[in-house]
């Protein structure tokens, strides 16, 4: 099963270049720094994505299975309890980003739940 999941992820991501990854990262940072504007500009996409995440297509997908396994692994290995706090201690910029991300997440949950 692992090889099948690995192949699936490889196929999903093989067309991403480093430039694409940098643009995605920059977009995430921009979203955190300009939350309200980002929500306004992406309201339709956010709604479509939220609907997709509730769909049978997604709930029964390989991607969902892989994401659930990854999250379980991270919880079982205390990633959120140990690794994230350590990264925050070593990187002031990540700590700042993390704090802003938590604020954005709270706004997102208030708006979309």
Tokens coding 104? 């954005």
Rounded to two decimals, the pTM is 0.75
Which parts of 1-113 are beta strand (E)?
none
Residues 13 and 1: their CA atoms lie apart, in Å, by: 19
Contacts of 4 (CB under 8 A, 6+ apart): 62
> Please, where are the H alpha helices in 1-113?
2-13, 18-33, 35-41, 43-53, 56-59, 62-76, 84-90, 92-112
- Give the domain ranges of the chain: 42-76, 78-113
- Write out pLDDT tens, residues 64-84: 999 999 999 999 999 999 999
- The candidate with the shortest Cα–Cα distance to 25, out of 108, 89, 94, is 94
Tokens coding 19? 């430039």
- Write out pLDDT tens, residues 23-47: 998 888 888 889 889 889 989 999 9
Contacts of 111 (CB under 8 A, 6+ apart): 39
């Amino acid at each position: 099963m692992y090889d099948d999941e690995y192949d699936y992820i490889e196929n999903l991501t093989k067309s991403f270049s480093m430039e694409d990854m940098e643009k995605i990262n920059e977009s995430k940072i921009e979203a955190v720094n300009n939350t309200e504007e980002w929500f306004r500009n992406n309201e339709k996409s956010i709604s479509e994505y939220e609907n997709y995440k509730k769909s049978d297509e997604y709930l029964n997908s390989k991607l969902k299975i892989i994401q659930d396994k990854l999250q379980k692994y991270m919880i079982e290995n205390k990633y959120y309890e140990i690794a994230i706090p350590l990264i925050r201690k070593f990187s002031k910029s990540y700590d700042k980003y993390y704090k802003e991300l938590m604020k954005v997440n709270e706004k997102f949950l208030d708006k979309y739940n």
